[in-house]
Structure 1
Amino acid sequence: MSNQQNQDRDLEGKIALVTGGTKGIGKAIANRLARAGAKVIVTARNSPVEADSDHHFIAADLSLPADVIKVAGQINELFGGVDILVNNMGANTYPGGGFGTLTDDDWDQAFQVNLLSSVRLDRALLPKMLQQKSGVIIHISSTSGQFPIWESTMAYSSAKAALNAYSKALADETGPQGVRVLTVSPGLTKTEAMEVFLKDLAKKSGITVDEMTQTLFERVGGVPLGRMAEPEETAELVNFLVSPKASYITGANYFIDGGNFPVVK
């Protein structure tokens, strides 16, 4: 086997969990880690339409504490823990229109899904990583965490900003014990969820989806590369960060946004 082929399989023997791993960015990450040699576990609320027999699927709604306990229990029983945890679960399904449209339930759900699901799962699976003095945790955040759009992402952006702060604090705590923690913040990405989001905004604004897409590009300050990201592009970044090639990287937040972020990060 060539050196290049060995590098492509540098996750051989590793156990990886990808939450929200049946669609979009999560699915792309799960497939990429599997190609690198990892045994991949995926969670989602519903079984995938096209199940990948190479992945072990666990049905769960990780916004519910009981489901986090269920997932962690199954993983510890079947696999003895994980070496890689990618907290990809997240959603921006909350009413737009600013503070007056958001109820306490909307705020609570935004934080349950986009922050506390990761906190609870880390708490359940991190002890085994600390015991073996190795492991990598990736929190999939969003550029919205530092670029909130009041009309459409207020609750979501607030929860992602909290996730960013938590992720950095956890990295500082676990780094001396051999566990790396990183954040990846995708920008506009071509997923099913993004399509639904754009259609909903377009309908409310009385314009076409193409017009809404252009409006969104302008609202975030433009994207120099002129397009949305493909999920596979974020998956490549995550694959690098969990690999031995990134062994000296922890605590950082990586933006993958086509250059759209309007300030020096």
Structure 2
Amino acid sequence: MFNSLTKDFSLEGKTALVTGGSKGIGKAIAERLSQAGAKVIITARSRSSDANPDHHFIAADMTTPEGTTTVVKEINEKFGGVDILIDNVGGLTAPRGGFSTLTDAHWENELRLNFLSTIRLDRELIPAMIEKKSGVVIHISTVAGRVPLWQINMAYAASKAALNSYSKALANEVASKGVRVLTVSPGGTATGAMVGFLKQLGDSSGASANDIYKNLSDQFGGVPMGRMAEPEEVASLVGFLVSPAASYLTSANYMIDGGAVSVA
């Protein structure tokens, strides 16, 4: 029984790419896939000082077509493609304050980072998966794509909502060709970026980071579990979804939010 279960979750012999894999959720996912036996490739603009030496690193700015070309060229030359693609790169870069504060540049930056970077990479790497009739693609989205907060993350939420729609369409297109596409939407997660964001909001209002988080979560009904997720908890879900144990799963958007979003 143990050996059977181990095989269901093993990624031995698989090659995985995690974009934005040097910190936060991406780093946790890269570690989780590596622990399951996958050969892991990560991308980021620069290599972190505590990077896992077992992970193959490619320096690239994924918001540009040139960055995608750099990554794909090196992967094809050194690995002949990937079996698992984790489109994780993304983030909130636009200012808060609502629609009147957002310029064309703000909208374009969010779309390049959170949406177009994924489309470009998928377009380059999925055809080889289709040719092999095997592959898994995970898009890392956010609960904000379902429940946006206009005063905090309007452009970010809209770009991730676009990602959710694209992910659903792509999954339905390639399901019969042996490729599974899934979306994972974390809620508040205790990454360095999130903690820094909450602290910044707190510093400007005189509130603690914990109070800011509670105030934000209360705006969409609160978090029944009463805390943020740890990056490793998100990584555990991703590790299951890319494994043989999840072979019949595709097209779905998995919310990992401590129960925050009450309507599916």
Give the structure-2-normalised TM-score: 0.97
Alignment of 1:225-236 (within 5 A): 225-236=225-236
TM-fit CA distance, 1:107? 0.1
Q: Could you say which residue in structure 2 is the equivalent of 1:135?
A: 135
Tell me the C-alpha RMSD between the 2 structures.
1.4
Deviations 1:218-237 (A, max 9, x none): 12311111110001111111
Q: Could you say which residue in structure 1 is the equivalent of 2:239?
A: 239
Q: Which runs of 5+ in 2 are unaligned?
A: none
Q: Could you say which residue in structure 2 is the equivalent of 1:254?
A: 254
Corresponding letter in the other structure for 1:253 = N
Q: Distance in 2 between matches of 1:214 and 1:244?
A: 37
Corresponding letter in the other structure for 1:83 = D
Q: Could you say which residue in structure 2 is the equivalent of 1:15?
A: 15
Q: Which runs of 5+ in 1 are unaligned?
A: none
Q: Distance in 1 between matches of 2:156 and 2:98?
A: 12
Q: Indicate whether 1:102 and 2:87 are aligned.
A: no
Q: Distance in 1 between matches of 2:8 and 2:51?
A: 24
Q: Distance in 1 between matches of 2:6 and 2:53?
A: 24
Q: Distance in 1 between matches of 2:100 and 2:203?
A: 20
Q: Indicate whether 1:69 and 2:69 are aligned.
A: yes
Q: Could you say which residue in structure 2 is the equivalent of 1:123?
A: 123
Q: Distance in 1 between matches of 2:220 and 2:42?
A: 32
TM-fit CA distance, 1:46? 1.3
Q: Distance in 1 between matches of 2:187 and 2:149?
A: 13
TM-fit CA distance, 1:171? 0.4
Alignment of 1:213-232 (within 5 A): 213-232=213-232
Corresponding letter in the other structure for 1:192 = G
Q: Could you say which residue in structure 1 is the equivalent of 2:166?
A: 166
TM-fit CA distance, 1:13? 0.4
Q: Distance in 2 between matches of 1:8 and 1:179?
A: 18
TM-fit CA distance, 1:75? 0.2
Q: Indicate whether 1:190 and 2:190 are aligned.
A: yes
Q: Distance in 2 between matches of 1:30 and 1:220?
A: 31
Q: Could you say which residue in structure 1 is the equivalent of 2:209?
A: 209
Contact 1:41-1:57 at 8 Å conserved across structures: yes
TM-fit CA distance, 1:199? 1.4
What SS does the aligned partner of 1:25 have? helix
Q: Distance in 1 between matches of 2:180 and 2:61?
A: 26
Q: Distance in 1 between matches of 2:79 and 2:9?
A: 20
Contact 1:42-1:56 at 8 Å conserved across structures: yes
Q: Could you say which residue in structure 1 is the equivalent of 2:27?
A: 27
Give the structure-1-normalised TM-score: 0.96
TM-fit CA distance, 1:49? 1.6
Deviations 1:131-169 (A, max 9, x none): 101000000000000100000110000000000000000
Q: Indicate whether 1:177 and 2:177 are aligned.
A: yes
